[in-house]
Structure 1
């Protein structure tokens, strides 16, 4: 299927950028961190609360989304995307609100440390530490004590998958489900092993040529891209991981690694739902979920989680 007409019109109206121009994270954040939806148009919730979670490294800001007033809640941890060097709680606020309302889960968004100031494993440490903190504050959060899911988009999908792997390894808590939206699961770009990196290399928002530079910020502390906690697709043993929903977009360079990960999970007897959105692009949540073809992604998420 060709690119969705409205997405194409949006891209056509944008000024062309030089993909060879060096990325300066501090400058890129100024426009990458702008939410797609104005606050007055975002879904209202029963309650929102911002607070800081103490961890061994530092206090980590979080935002707690409570969709309705009830006794106990299943909890979903949300890790935002942004190529490991951008994004924050506010940039993904509209997305998380929708997920909370459709799922009925209390959602906790984590404002983890960003690269290159804080390369791997800082972001993973923060996401894991806050998730552990949640399990230790059951009464304060009105967590039901049973359902603990993780979710993330793009680099946040990487972190969600890595937290699931780390929780299986450490056995300090159990992740029950994971939702990965167009995840970045393979940071080894020594060669383009996926057809989607070539098919969707240019003209679809995220361009393949910039991925290595994006990843370099996260890897700048000497991380090995073949380490499964850096590139979850490198994990050979996927048994006993949580039931998974993997969302991909047809015109996304990262499409094939997400779909291969889903296949690998299924081959390890993990329950998997895989949905490819035709005509879609990377990072379509928030930006294009007003379109009929993509608005159902939140409903699908809610149905999977429940």
Structure 2
């Protein structure tokens, strides 16, 4: 037991009050309502941004994906900025990177199944890298990065692979992966048939030529090892990778408000630095 990670204060505080939940009994709607009702502490700094809500059509059947467009308040109205697509239902942004943030609300399981979320994520990226769409919102379609946490990080990888396979003209500038769900031990035939959904089963030829990666894992996260194993696979494919393990944090430490801590601010600084370098 001595090898167990020492949790940071925010994680200890949350676990001390967290009830035991039987996920087989509690409806998914109740879990989501409880999650979205939690608000950020007033101690967490907020960037000054303008927000525009839009809907992005998918490439396959045209159904609409809700998205929020965040733009630094310090930017002039016609200033063309880089852009970052966020694949998470909750998120924090920093205007220090001086970029437009596209927060895409992709469809969630169990209501939808593979490949809906994968194709939605790809559609958002294809839409963002289309010059006509980008010009309307004053961002550069040649400078679009993508990030996500947990399942959103897995979808980011899938989008990068699909963009390469489909020879999308404007390439992804950077991938930022927060504790991705990789499923490294998946050995069933169905897993092997859907490598886009399960990145661990991607062939190395799929990884060669992917955009640079910032990989963030949590020390006390069950997904820690699979993310770090995948980072090594990317390195073997000669992808530029920076990988950081954040000490003392649980899964979801970036997207669950009660887990916000100084470690979150440090990761945001890493993200800002990675984006500045990618967009320079």
**Shorter-chain TM band:** 0.7 to 0.9
Instruction: State the Cα RMSD in Å.
Output: 2.4
Q: 1:115 to 1:65 in 2, by over 3 A?
A: same
Aligned residues: 260
5 Å-filtered alignment, 1:6-155, equals 6-18=10-22, 21-22=24-25, 24-37=27-40, 43-55=46-58, 56-67=61-72, 68-70=74-76, 71-80=79-88, 88=89, 92=90, 95-98=91-94, 101-136=95-130, 137-155=133-151
CA distance in 1, matches of 2:262, 2:157: 29
Q: 1:64 to 1:58 in 2, by over 3 A?
A: same
Q: Which residue number corresponds to residue 262 of structure 2? A: 292
Equivalent position SS for 2:247: strand
Indicate conservation of the 8 Å contact 1:96/1:107, yes or no.
no
Please list every run of 5 or more consecutive structure 1 residues that lacks an aligned counterpart in the other structure.
81-87, 192-222
Please list every run of 5 or more consecutive structure 2 residues that lacks an aligned counterpart in the other structure.
none
Are 1:156 and 2:156 matched, yes or no?
Answer: no
CA distance in 1, matches of 2:84, 2:245: 22
CA distance in 1, matches of 2:34, 2:219: 25
Q: 1:180 to 1:281 in 2, by over 3 A?
A: same
Shift of 1:32: 2.7
Indicate conservation of the 8 Å contact 2:184/2:200, yes or no.
no
Indicate conservation of the 8 Å contact 1:158/1:183, yes or no.
yes
